[in-house]
Structure 1
Amino acid sequence: MSRLIAALEHRELTVFAHIDHAEHARRAELSLTPVDVVLFGDPHAGTPLMASDPRVGLDLPLRMVVWQDGEMAFVGHHDPRELAGDYELTEHKEILDRMAELLEAVSVEVAGE
């Protein structure tokens, strides 16, 4: 998680929320291995998408999940280019491509590859 947050801050992205699912499970007296979701983005990228189709607010800001399986940690995300098929965003291909490139670069950095 610390590498993910550092990678986002390095890129001057806004972290809107951090959800620690394992902590919430503990509060409910349940057990869960670490699973964290971070919502982040840049209003300069997301706002034009929401102006075109406000429904995309269901999928924005961008998010990444980090989870632990045994001694290994993993990071995952959806491909934002798929949003063009779900919403009226075909004119924003360039923004969606940049979002996808960003998520891939952050994933590689966080994974230490």
Structure 2
Amino acid sequence: MLERLSPLGVEETVRLIRDAVTETGVTVFATIDHAAGARSVGVDMPESTVLVVGNPAAGAPPMLDAPNLALDLPTRVLVRQASPGAVGSSVVLSDPRALARRHGLRDEQVEALGQIVSVIDRALEQVSTR
């Protein structure tokens, strides 16, 4: 797993990531608000949202070589409230290198899967330097 920190709250970080990935042609397939789901059954849970994002042009070719990769794609990006006492939120997603090892992908396929990580890193760097 890769984890990044955002100085922004969960809602703002989700919006930042959604905007950043869609600007690069990546699709946001779903947004899952786990905290809202928990509240609906009377459970109090820290803010926790998952974005399901992907680019079929990057994900489909490696799935031809490794069909089970479909279990890990599209990429799920967890944005959760930072640890108690910390400011902001945490952004967590699977490491493309770990996916590559698990599914026996080639280097260029890892690079394609890692593009989403790069987009998220650039977005978080921009907000951290404001």
Q: TM-score range by the shorter chain?
A: 0.7 to 0.9
1:84 to 100, 106, 112: 100
Alignment-derived partner of residue 75 in structure 1:
91
Change (3 A) 1:43 1:101: closer
Which whole-Å CA distance do the structure 1 matches of 2:113 and 2:68 have between them? Answer: 18
Q: How many residues align?
A: 111
- The two structures, once aligned, show a CA RMSD in angstroms of 1.7
- 3-state SS, counterpart of residue 51 of structure 1: helix
Which whole-Å CA distance do the structure 2 matches of 1:76 and 1:62 have between them? Answer: 11
Alignment-derived partner of residue 72 in structure 2:
59
**CA displacement, residues 62-94 of structure 1 (integer Å, 9 cap, x when unaligned):** 12111113542121212112112111323xx21
Gaps of 5+ in 1: none
Asked if the contact 1:76/1:107 (under 8 Å) is kept, the reply is: no
- 3-state SS, counterpart of residue 111 of structure 2: helix
Alignment-derived partner of residue 119 in structure 2:
105
User: AA paired with 1:110?
Assistant: L
- Identity among equivalent positions (%) equals 31
Which whole-Å CA distance do the structure 1 matches of 2:115 and 2:63 have between them? Answer: 20
Which whole-Å CA distance do the structure 1 matches of 2:18 and 2:81 have between them? Answer: 16
Gaps of 5+ in 2: 1-13
**CA displacement, residues 24-63 of structure 1 (integer Å, 9 cap, x when unaligned):** 1011111111111111111011101111111111110112
User: AA paired with 1:34?
Assistant: E
Looking at both structures, which has the greater relative contact order when contacts are Cα pairs under 8 Å and sequence separation is at least 6? Answer: 2
Asked if the contact 1:20/1:35 (under 8 Å) is kept, the reply is: yes
Alignment-derived partner of residue 42 in structure 1:
55
TM-score, normalisation: structure 2 = 0.76
